[in-house]
Amino acid sequence: MDKIYMNQLSFYGYHGLFPEENKLGQRFKVDLELHLDLRDAGQEDDMSKSINYADIYNKTQRIVEGEAKNLVEAVAEDIASTLLRSFSRLQACRVKVIKPDPPIPGNYESVAIEVFREREA
């Protein structure tokens, strides 16, 4: 299966369990791996045989910058299900949501979760 990668999409959202996360918000980054057949798009040089990256970005942005969720897992699940529902050419997707600055003590680069979802037959 061919893949489109969209990496380090950056947003500001209000997701988290702590009240300060919901009030102050924080940065989120999203990596997407989109699985679909790109043969016809490449051979015919035809955008209608692929997926418009701007549409993917906009749908992801609406979720991350939209209604606050308690868990980043819920954000990733919402992104994956929305993309699969919205783009009939998409067969599967891997969604990684990264919290660069979660309010937890310790020394680390970031915290992230990743989900992989396939179109149901």
Residue 99 is a catalytic residue: yes
- Where do the H-state alpha helices sit in the chain? 19-24, 39-44, 53-64, 72-86
First to last CA, the chain: 16
Q: Which of 33, 115, 55 is nearest to 81 (CA)?
A: 115
pLDDT at 103: 83
Q: Which entry of 29, 69, 96, 99 is annotated as an active-site residue?
A: 99
Q: Which two tokens stand for residue 86?
A: 């919205």
Strand, helix or coil for residue 85: helix
Q: Is the pTM of this model over 0.85?
A: yes
Q: Is the pLDDT of residue 121 over 80?
A: no
- Please give, one letter per residue, the 3-state secondary structure of 43-69: HHCCHHHCCCHHHHHHHHHHHHCCCCC
- Per-residue pLDDT of 49-103, as tens digits, reads 999 999 999 999 999 999 999 999 999 999 999 999 999 999 999 999 999 988 8
Q: Write down all domains in the chain, each with its CATH number in brackets.
A: 2-118 (3.30.1130.10)
| Orientation angle between helical segments 53-64 and 72-86, nearest 10 degrees | 150
Do the Cβ atoms of 90 and 36 come closer than 8 Å? Answer: yes
